[in-house]
Amino acid sequence: MSEKIGFAAGDLVVYPTHGVGKILGIEEQEIAGYTLNVFVVHFDKDRMTLRVPLAKAKVSGLRRLSTRKEMDAALTKLKGRSRAKRTMWSRRAQEYEQKINSGDPASIAEVVRDLYRNVGQPEQSYSERQIYQAALDRLVREFAAVEKIDEDTAARRLEQMLSAA
């Protein structure tokens, strides 16, 4: 059954609202009288285990890790110029949250790029820092998984790209 779905135990996957997780296996569970087959996905960083019904995996946005090509496209966006709109912060914050929760590395890279503050730039508000950190953490985790490096190294490399842009 897992061959048909494309995921197997041990695979690293991305769940849009939680980031990179590892499939521990497929379980059969009875919920409200129905028997469901579910992916058991563990997120180390959040110390959380999520159960995603096989039938809803695609709809929920569960996907494989980005390919190197997709990650390179995201990193290219990271190196571009900030395109922060001059709309109200609350509206921009909503858009940033949507991009982060989309799970798309290119969209997340845009958020990181737009909210990054270099030395000598004005301080960020608390909510800007929170959103920036959430986006950076999500991007670092997937970048580290794709490059097969630890998260600290991935974070340093992303910071270097940002400061060089």
Q: What pLDDT digit, counting tens, does each position of 99-134 carry?
A: 999 989 999 999 999 998 876 677 788 999 999 999
At residue 163, the pLDDT reads 84
- At residue 2 the predicted structure's pLDDT band, cuts being 50, 70 and 90, is very low
Tokens representing 108 are 């997340």
Confidence at residue 120, expressed as pLDDT on a 0 to 100 scale:
65
Q: How far apart are CA 161 and CA 155, in angstroms?
A: 10
Do residues 84 and 93 lie in contact, with contact meaning Cβ atoms separated by under 8 Å?
Answer: no
Cα separation, 117 vs 69, in Å, equals 27
Q: Is the pLDDT of residue 3 over 60?
A: no
Q: How confident is the model at residue 164 (pLDDT cuts 50, 70, 90)?
A: confident
State the Cα–Cα distance between residues 30 and 6, nearest whole angstrom: 23
pLDDT tens digits, 43-53: 988 889 999 99
Q: Report all structural domains of the chain as residue ranges with CATH numbers, in order of start.
A: 2-64 (2.40.10.170), 68-164 (1.20.58.1290)
CB 74 within 8 A of CB 110: no
